[in-house]
Amino acid sequence: MSETVTGRGGSEEASREETVNETQSERVSYLRAGHTLRSWFFTTDHKRIALLYLISVTFFFFIGGMAAGLMRTDLLTPQGDVLSNEGYNRAFTLHGVIMVWFFLIPSIPNVFGNFLIPLMIGARDLAFPRLNLLSWYIYWIGGLFTLWVLLAGGVDTGWTFYTPLSSMFANGNVVMAAAAVFVVGFSSILTGLNFIVTIHTLRAPGMTWGRLPLFVWSHYATSVILVLATPVLTVTLALIVAERLFGLGIFDPALGGDPLLYQHLFWFYSHPAVYIMVLPAMAVVSELVAAAARKPVFGYWFIVFSSLGIAAVGFLVWAHHMFVSGMSMYVGAVFSFLSLVVAVPSGIKVYNWTATLWKGHISLDPPFLFAMGFIGLFVVGGLTGLILAMLALDVHVHDTYFVVAHFHYIMVGGTVSAFFGALHFWWPKMTGRMFSIGWGRLTALFIFFGFNMTFFPQFILGYLGMPRRYHVYDPQFQVLHVLSSAGSTILGFAYLFPFAYLLYALRYGKPSGDNPWEATGLEWTVPSPPPKHNFDEIPVVTREPYDYEVEKEGGA
Amino acid sequence: MTRSGLVEEPFSDPEQQRRAALFGMTIFLATEILLFGGIFAALIFYQAAHREIFVETSRELHIWIATGNTVVLLTSSLFAALAVAAAKAGNGKATGWLLGVTAALGLAFLGLKGWEYALEYGEGLLPLAGGDAKLGEPGKRLFMDLYLMATGLHAVHVTIGVCLLLFIAARIATRATRMPEQATTIEVSTLYWHLIDVIWVFLFPALYLVR
């Protein structure tokens, strides 16, 4: 293990001493290219913007996490003794709004996509570097609105802003919260647009579509959804705000308007948004699995087309959120079928990752453990998703903790695990320093166990009939709730570990060398951390992706 | 890496840069279509649900002003297209003037639209405080709510377009933007203008011609 870790990349001065203050690559890296605040806040370097995003999304992750902590504390007892009814509604709404729009959606694309896509395709930057910076500022304008909502007392509609609750009855800061989501949508659109144009126009010579890393393909699929789904949310929120502020009732039943139309428009965005959150996670896992197995990925084109398939079919399944809303049964049957169809490409991916590992020379490094955590949790989340996609079964578990557990398995078990996997895998590339492998492994295990302990009891709770969004509950559910809250404590601490050892590695970590994991891909050919302009000379790609030498190490 | 001519940072040649700019704008226009798509979806959905009252209310709109506006906006797109041709030919002066005429026609559109709103307000048809005297019937109000949202959002886009075109025209006048080297700028911004036009071409029948 240790010889893979110390690395033996191109920078020959690495591993000269135990603690090195500054390596040669670091001296000329993007991190040292300017020390003023201005050089960070007005940078157009995609790598610096990625770091700005990393700090920003982490900040919101902790605010959203604190709201979850409040809820889990309150749920320890059947009575509501920490939060009032109103307070509980506000806690879960803010948790949802912040986690969905200010952490999950921007997390992997805006941090790792931003950092890696140009490096992976052999470009010096994204196609529109200033637009990229603008997207970060727009994100923060939306973020400040959200913080304002938080300080002004919150909002209690749930992250879904359903009408007529949001337009006519809710007392919280609905307009401000909707404005926050409205604004942050433009940040998503700009990022998606930038990625698509970059991948089309800035690939290095020889970087054909068939040689693109799967990370890039999956981000391409994500970007298509970002660009095509987000505007619908934008206009839907604008309609709510118009109804609240100017009395322009579009969904008002008293005028003949239909609240179901709101739900259709909302889920037309928000279901694809689920894929915005999980496709980048799949992007990360494809890279992590191939690097850990030291083998070419099994079925490259199957993984590519399953990403594109998810993006396409993902637009046609939204109404499975509305099976009990009173819409037509025939519509329900069609959407039920389509929702089962969209599970197929996800299944293909899991199958291909597993097949990639078969007979691989697997190294149990932290990134691999996170990837395995992702696959396990994603499979559970995906299979319970099938239960929810079926009309008859959904009626039994709709709006219960079963749904809550299902989507947390995908969003938190899946995406957050992948986020941490990516953070560990590319941390040496981003900072030039290697962290403690032992602590990394421990964190991966703690996150996996803490997560299961938090959310598995919620499947049972939901199946037994515990509805979501209630904080006063029947005492028979208490044991499972206590188990869940205890698990969330472990999970919370596990999320804190990386802060200690990753930041410690910044100062005291060993220089990692160019390619500490001995992975393929253009990003590993440049120094760690990369120089400001990525490549001295734009590389010419002559090799297929993931061309690990399989035969040579056959006996090991 | 360094600027060579007018090729900026990540690009290596002007053709690549032009392709990226046009492609980026095309994607942005797709997002605009989906933005209005939400409103069109609502319009179609409610037109099916409230057929008669929507037709009746549509008859009360000022179709002749809207028709005039359609002519104004289509003509403005002609001047926008001519501006691109002039830019590619390297005629900076003509480009500036043609963009100016396009923007002026955009302002004329906004003026006519404002007049139309004022008339409707006076007639008690506009769902705003004080102007909604004749909107007692729920379906009628719903139609006018949609009408105001759709045309209002469109007017916001026209305003942004006018500002954009005037800004570029001013930059050409002060020689900050040069033709034909930066003809792509004209191409990209007129694409946006054409989209505003196209959206109106769909809004016009959906609101005025459903009678």
Question: With contact defined as beta carbons under 8 Å apart, do B210 and B56 qualify?
Answer: no
Pick A6 or A188 by higher pLDDT: A188
* Res. A516: pLDDT tops 80: yes
B106 alpha carbon, distance to own chain's centre:
8
| A542 lies in some domain | no
Mean pLDDT computed over A302-320: 96
Which residue among B1, B49, B148 sits closest to A256, beta carbon to beta carbon? B49
Is it the case that residue A456 has pLDDT exceeding 50? yes
| pLDDT single digits (tens) B82-133 | 999 999 999 999 999 999 999 999 999 999 999 999 999 999 999 988 888 8
Contact A523, A187 (CB under 8 A): no
What's the whole-number mean pLDDT along residues A375-391?
Answer: 95
Provide the chain B residues 28-67 that lie in CB contact (below 8 A) with chain A: 28, 30-32, 34-39, 41-42, 45-46, 49-50, 53
Q: Is the per-residue pLDDT at B26 higher than 60?
A: yes
User: What pLDDT sits at residue B1?
Assistant: 33
Residue A547 lies inside a defined structural domain of this protein = no
Distance between CA A115 and CA A102 in Å, rounded? 18
List B7's β-bridge partners, or say none: B4
Q: To which residue do tokens 């299902």 refer?
A: A406
Tokens linked to A42: 């007005």
Contact A275, A349 (CB under 8 A): no
In a domain, A386, yes or no: yes
Q: With pLDDT > 70 as the criterion, what percentage of chain B qualifies?
A: 98
Per-residue model confidence as pLDDT tens digits over B141-182: 999 999 999 999 999 999 999 999 999 999 999 988 888 888
A-B CB pairs within 8 A amount to: 122
A504/A510 Cα distance (integer angstroms) = 11
pLDDT in tens, A73-131: 999 999 988 999 999 999 999 999 999 999 999 999 999 999 999 999 999 999 999 99
Domain assignment present for A3: no
Let me know: does A513 contact A3? Beta carbons within 8 Å: no
Q: Do A235 and B153 touch (CB under 8 A)?
A: yes
Residue A532 lies in a domain: no
Which CATH number covers residue A263?
Answer: 1.20.210.10
For residues B144 and B135, is the Cβ–Cβ distance under 8 A? yes
Evaluate whether ipTM surpasses 0.95.
no
pLDDT, position B2: 34
pLDDT tens figures, A247-257:
888 999 988 88
Q: Which residue has the higher pLDDT, A462 or B180?
A: A462
- C-alpha–C-alpha distance, residues A263 and A101, integer Å: 18
The model's confidence at residue A55, banded by pLDDT at 50, 70 and 90, is very high
In a domain, A548, yes or no: no
Two structure tokens written together for A529: 């951390």
Residues 6+ apart with CB under 8 A from A145: A176, A177, A179, A180, A183
* CA atoms A184, A187, A192, A195: torsion sign: negative
**Burial of A21: CB neighbours in 10 Å, binned 0-12, 13-18, 19+:** exposed
What domain count does chain A have?
A: 1
- pLDDT category at A361 given cuts 50, 70, 90 is confident
The answer to whether residue B191 scores a pLDDT higher than 50 is: yes
Q: Are A409 and A377 in contact (CB under 8 A)?
A: yes
Q: If pLDDT is split at 50, 70 and 90, which confidence band does B44 have?
A: very high
**Span A463-474, pLDDT tens digits:** 999 999 999 999
Q: Which residue has the higher pLDDT, A549 or B1?
A: A549
DSSP A400: B
**b/e map A110-125, b = 16+ CB within 10 Å:** bbbbbbbbbbbbbbbb
Cα(A80)–Cα(A236) distance, integer angstroms: 34
**Residues in A 506-545 with any Cβ partner in B closer than 8 A:** 533, 538
Q: Provide the token pair at A27.
A: 């001296």
Of B27, B139, B148, the CB nearest to A196: B27
| Mean predicted confidence (pLDDT) in A319-335 | 93
Identify whether the C-beta of residue A516 lies closer than 8 Å to the C-beta of residue A433.
no
B173 touches chain A (CB under 8 A): no
Give chain A positions within 8 Å (CB) of B138.
Answer: 254-256
In a domain, A504, yes or no: yes
Structural domain boundaries, residue A225 = 42-524
Taking residues A282-292, what's their average pLDDT? 95
Do B132 and B126 form a contact (C-beta atoms < 8 A)?
yes
Range list of H helices, A75-213:
85-97, 105-108, 114-121, 129-151, 174-201
Across the interface, whether the CB atoms of B37 and A256 are under 8 A apart is answered no
A417 domain residue, yes or no: yes
Across the interface, whether the CB atoms of B46 and A256 are under 8 A apart is answered yes
Of B140, B145, B77, B73, which Cα lies nearest the Cα of B113? B73
Query: Out of A64-78, A178-192, A421-435, A537-551, which region has the weakest mean confidence (pLDDT)?
Result: A537-551
pLDDT of residue B137: 86
Q: How far apart are CA A307 and CA A217, in angstroms?
A: 7
φ, ψ dihedrals at A84, nearest 5°: -75, 170
* Residue contact A202–B10, C-beta within 8 A: yes
Is the Cα torsion angle B60, B64, B69, B74 positive or negative in sign? positive
Q: Pick from A48, A250, A535, A540 the residue to mutate for testing the B interface (most B CBs within 10 Å).
A: A250
Residue A75 Cα to chain centre, angstroms: 26
* A chain contacts of residue B145, beta-carbon cutoff 8 Å: 242, 248-250, 255
Q: Set out the domains of chain B in order of their start, with CATH numbers.
A: 14-208 (1.20.120.80)
Dmax (CA) for chain A in angstroms is 76
Q: Tell me how far apart the alpha carbons of residues A484 and A504 are, in angstroms, rounded to a whole number.
A: 31
E-strand stretches of A406-467: 433-434
pLDDT at A351: 96
Q: Is the pLDDT of residue B4 over 50?
A: no
Residue A205 has pLDDT above 50, yes or no: yes
What pLDDT score does B131 carry? 84
Q: Please name which of A337, A418, A412 lies closest in space to residue A380, comparing C-alpha atoms.
A: A412
Q: Cα(B6)–Cα(B13) distance, rounded to whole angstroms?
A: 9
C-alpha distance from residue B26 to each of A197, A218, A308 (Å): 10, 21, 20
Specify the range with the lowest mean pLDDT, choosing from A163-172, A222-231, A534-543, B23-32.
Answer: A163-172
Predicted confidence at residue A551, as pLDDT, reads: 57
Supply A543's token pair.
């090799």
pLDDT of residue A20: 67
Maximum Cα–Cα distance across chain B: 65
pLDDT at B210: 87
pLDDT score of A177 more than 80: yes
Residue A414 has, within 13 A of its CA and on its CB side, a CA count of 26
To the nearest whole Å, the CA of B3 is away from the closest chain A CA by 13
The one-letter amino acid code at A518 reads E
Q: For A310-326, what is the mean pLDDT?
A: 94
Tokens of residue A338, six digits: 């389509």
| pLDDT reported for residue B10 | 87
If pLDDT is split at 50, 70 and 90, which confidence band does A16 have? Answer: very low
pLDDT band at B201 (very low <50, low <70, confident <90, very high): very high
Average pLDDT over residues A432-457: 96
- pLDDT confidence of residue A14: 44
